[in-house]
Amino acid sequence: MKFRCERDLLVEALSTAGRAVTGRGGALPVLSGVKIDASNDRLEVTGSDLDLTIRTSVGVNIAESGTAVLPSRLLSDIVRSLDQGAVDLEVTGDEAQISSGRSQFAVRTLPVDDFPHLDEPSGDQVSVAADELASGLKQVVLAASSDDARPILTGVLMTAEEGGLRLVATDSYRLAVRDLPEATVLGEGQKVLVPSRALGELIRVLGHAKEVNVRLGERDVTFFVEPEDGVSVELTTRLIEGEFPNYRQLIPASYPNEMRVGREQLLDAVRRVKLMAREATPLRLTQRDGSLELMAVTQDVGQAHEEVDAVYSGTDELTVAFNPDFLIAGIEAATGDEVVLQTLDALKPAVMRSTEGSDYLYLLMPVRVS
């Protein structure tokens, strides 16, 4: 195998595919590498941990076709370290020669035959606007759990909803729901549970694409992203099996208290007051007519207070406390100039919405304080 490729394109192809490679090589050391296929003036780079597979493709000048598996992190670091310009890569036997200008590297390959055979994507293909899907995923993926002890909660529920697509995620402390009315990815009544890790990687590659093609198989889902120029990406992930919690019962039908406040003003204030919220100290929000007071008190460290203008409609003054990081994530995910915080009392779930549209909801569990 022998080919030449521009450094920046090769770095993008290698690093994107390499994000599916984890340190879990253990029983299968070859999974610490990326598989490189060079043929028909296209270079394909594939990384996989068997649950998530990312295949990138880019046009290159190929002098000799072939296939090799090379250490992912090492190869990516080498190519990234080279000066801008053309990079030559040649594989002979069990060694790869990487050169650019006066720089030359020799890297031992991994056994090609040990790299697992990956099935081709199955299912009918549908298309969805890339910017719409990316914005929805950014608002929801943040609420998924990272604790593998509860795999169901590490996924994002995709379900057909009123002709469109609904995205739902929860880690049991917060819940995010986003509706994409124009996205007809699933059939009526259909739902799947997609690992949030895979969707986080998908967000990274959606930035410069106009649309993404989706193929839903029985046990996996594949996303195809083809930018106008540069590196194309095919991301395949296994679906999570199991029943997602009944999230609808967590959302109260109505709220007696509602506060409307400027989004950026609130975000800045929370970030400042959070500086005194050490050691998992909650952030207290006191809602009253005309203002919102934020307070954080940490024993033996100090305290912070800040007041921001707000419109509050409720029965009485109400103080409710939240995890400050979860609160910030919800404010950042909302769109528009203002956010609305709806509450029942100091211990029941609160809901944050944007004043622009009703397609996003962020539910947050309060923290009990004395």
Residues 322 and 352 in one domain: yes
Q: Is 19 contained in some domain?
A: yes
The yes-or-no verdict on residue 263 having pLDDT over 90 is yes
CA 367 to chain centre: 26
Could you report the per-residue pLDDT of 135-152, keeping only the tens digit for each?
Answer: 999 999 999 999 988 999
Two structure tokens written together for 40: 């028909």
> In the prediction, which pLDDT does 207 show?
81
Asked whether residue 143 falls in the same domain as residue 162, the answer is yes
* Domain termination residue (choose one: 114, 144, 175): 114
Cβ 310 vs Cβ 259: under 8 Å: yes
327 and 340 both lie in a single domain: yes
Q: Where is pLDDT greater, at 44 or 228?
A: 44
Beta bridge partners of 304: 296
With respect to residue 193, please indicate whether it lies within any of the assigned structural domains: yes
Assigned domain for 322 exists = yes
Sheet containing strand 103-108, edge to edge, reads: 61-64, 2-6, 86-92, 95-100, 103-108
Q: Which helix (H) or strand (E) holds 12?
A: helix 7-18
Kindly state whether residues 133 and 227 are assigned to the same domain: yes
Measuring CA to CA, which residue among 75, 16, 3 is closest to residue 42? 3
* Distance between CA atoms of residues 270 and 127, nearest Å: 39
How many domains are there within the chain? 3
Domain co-membership, 27 together with 85: yes
Same domain (yes/no): 106, 203: no
DSSP structure class, residue 280: T
Q: Go through 140-160 and write b for each residue having 16 or more CB atoms within 10 A of its CB, e for each that does not.
A: bbbbbbeeeeeeebbbbbbbb
pLDDT band for 123, please (50, 70, 90 cuts): confident
Are residues 90 and 30 part of one domain? yes
- pLDDT category of residue 105 using cuts at 50, 70 and 90: very high
Report the alpha-carbon distance of residue 320 to residue 343 in Å, rounded: 9
What's the confidence (pLDDT) of residue 268?
Answer: 97
Q: What is the pLDDT of residue 2?
A: 96
Q: Which residue has the higher pLDDT, 25 or 261?
A: 261
Quick check: is 120 in a domain? no
Confidence (pLDDT) at 229: 73
Q: Does residue 230 carry a pLDDT above 90?
A: no
Which residue is listed with tokens 């540069």?
A: 230
Indicate whether 175 and 221 sit together in one domain: yes
pLDDT in tens, 264-284: 999 999 999 999 988 788 999
Which is higher by pLDDT, 366 or 164?
366
Burial label for 7, CB within 10 Å (0-12, 13-18, 19+), is middle
Go through the chain and tell me how many residues it has: 370
pLDDT the model gives residue 25: 52
Mean pLDDT of 105-131: 88
Domain boundary among 114, 140, 157: 114
360-364 β-sheet, strand order: 191-195, 155-161, 164-170, 174-180, 360-364, 350-354, 338-343, 257-262, 311-313
User: 82, 134, 95: which is closest to 2 by C-alpha?
Assistant: 95
Q: Does residue 369 belong to any structural domain of this protein? A: no
The model's pTM: 0.89
How does DSSP assign 311-343, residue by residue?
A: EEESSS-EEEEE-HHHHHHHHHH--SSEEEEEE
Q: Confirm if 144 and 137 have CB atoms less than 8 A apart.
A: no
Say whether both 230 and 283 belong to one domain. Answer: no
- Express each pLDDT in 163-210 by its tens digit: 788 999 999 999 999 999 877 777 777 889 999 999 999 999 998 788
Residue type (1 letter), 65: S
Q: What is the CATH number of the domain that holds 203?
A: 3.10.150.10
Residue with tokens 């190929």: 62
* Residue 157, pLDDT above cutoff 80: yes
Quote the pLDDT of residue 26.
59
Does residue 119 fall inside a structural domain?
Answer: no
d(CA 280, CA 298): 9
pLDDT tens per residue, range 41-98: 999 999 999 999 999 999 999 999 999 999 999 999 999 999 999 999 999 999 999 9
Q: Within this chain, do residues 336 and 256 fall inside the same structural domain, yes or no?
A: yes
Whether 159 is covered by a domain: the verdict is yes
Residues 354, 362: Cα–Cα separation, whole Å:
9
Range(s) of the domain holding residue 170:
125-248
204 three-class SS: helix
Q: Which residues contact 206 (CB under 8 A, 6 or more apart)?
A: 130, 131, 133, 134, 212, 225
User: Both 44 and 108 in a single domain?
Assistant: yes
In a domain, 161, yes or no: yes
* Residue 226 pLDDT greater than 90, yes or no: no
Give the H/E segment covering residue 77. helix 72-81
Of the candidates 248, 271, 305, which is a domain's last residue? 248
Question: What integer best gives the mean pLDDT of the chain?
Answer: 92
Q: Are residues 98 and 129 in the same domain?
A: no
pLDDT tens for each residue of 316-359: 899 999 999 999 999 999 988 999 999 999 999 999 998 887 89
